[in-house]
Amino acid sequence: MKKKILIADDSKTFLLFEELLLSELSCDIVKAFNGVEAIQKIQTEFPDLILLDIHMPELNGIECCRIIKGNPVIKSIPVIVVTAHGNERELCIKAGCNEVLTKPVDKKTLLSMVRKYL
């Protein structure tokens, strides 16, 4: 069965970029454009891994991660925060994310991190 990755980012360009980088893994990709949509899709799609941007409208990535890790049904899903703000690493870890990846994203680093959790 194919693994499923949810990517949440308010930048459609970055979503397409991440999807392109992940294409060699032959996974199903589910996209969300904000934190609220991400939570909804997580509860219906049950992805194997979540890639979250921090700065999104409606619900930011930190709050989204707290909700995921506070929900017994979905808390075991690994979360990688992908952010342009490396100085927010501590906040991400406190929110419960498994990894923090700083933009600009390096393909080799991203694929290595994703493979670690799939």
pLDDT in tens, 4-52: 999 999 999 999 999 999 999 989 999 999 999 999 999 999 999 999 9
Phi-psi region at 10: left, alpha or beta (left = phi > 0; alpha = psi -120 to 50) = alpha
Report the run of H or E that residue 83 belongs to, with start and end. Answer: strand 79-83
Q: Which amino acid is at 9?
A: D
> Whole-model pTM above 0.85?
yes
Query: Is beta strand 28-32 parallel, antiparallel or unpaired with respect to 49-52?
Result: unpaired
| 80: β partners | 51, 99
| C-alpha separations of 23 from 5, 26, 54, 106, 114 in Å | 11, 6, 23, 14, 12
Q: Phi and psi dihedrals of 96, rounded to 5?
A: 110, 5
pLDDT at 34: 95
Buried b (16+ CB within 10 A) or exposed e, 34-46: bbbbbbebbeeee
CATH code given to domain 4-117: 3.40.50.2300
The per-residue pLDDT for range 50-89, each reduced to its tens digit, is 999 999 989 999 999 999 999 999 999 999 999 887 788 8
